[in-house]
């Protein structure tokens, strides 16, 4: 029915997991989009900066689920942000200083 194959990409392949661990250790946190098989629910998006947490998350997924991964560092930069705002105090004031 859905043409399952042994030749598709697998998030659990040792090479894939090794690359994800390497990226987390040396490059950047990852933006993960978990798309559920047959769209049983809306995609879950999160930022991961710990390989053990990612491993645990993947163990809870189901066959057919799809994972899309991006580098946080390459996408989320000060020079391409959509907007920025500060939380005001009870009087509506915000500090002038920059928050890193």
Q: d(Cα 16, Cα 9) in Å, to the nearest integer?
A: 9
- Closest listed residue to residue 48, CA positions, set 74, 16, 65, 23: 23
pLDDT in tens, 24-75: 999 999 999 999 998 878 999 999 999 999 999 999 999 999 999 999 999 9
Q: d(Cα 24, Cα 50) in Å, to the nearest integer?
A: 7
In angstroms, the first-to-last Cα distance of the chain is 51
Q: What is the pTM of this model?
A: 0.83
Contacts with 86 (C-beta within 8 Å, 6 or more apart), sequence order: 94, 95, 99
């Amino acid at each position: 029915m859905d043409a399952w194959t042994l030749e598709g990409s697998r998030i659990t392949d040792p090479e894939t997991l090794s690359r994800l661990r390497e990226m987390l250790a040396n490059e950047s946190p990852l933006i993960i989009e978990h798309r559920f098989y047959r769209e049983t629910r809306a995609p879950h998006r999160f930022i991961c900066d710990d390989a053990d947490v990612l491993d645990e998350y993947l163990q809870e997924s189901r066959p057919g689920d799809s994972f899309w991964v991006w580098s946080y560092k390459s996408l989320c930069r000060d020079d391409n942000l959509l907007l920025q705002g500060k939380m005001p105090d009870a009087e509506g004031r915000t500090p002038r200083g920059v928050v890193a």
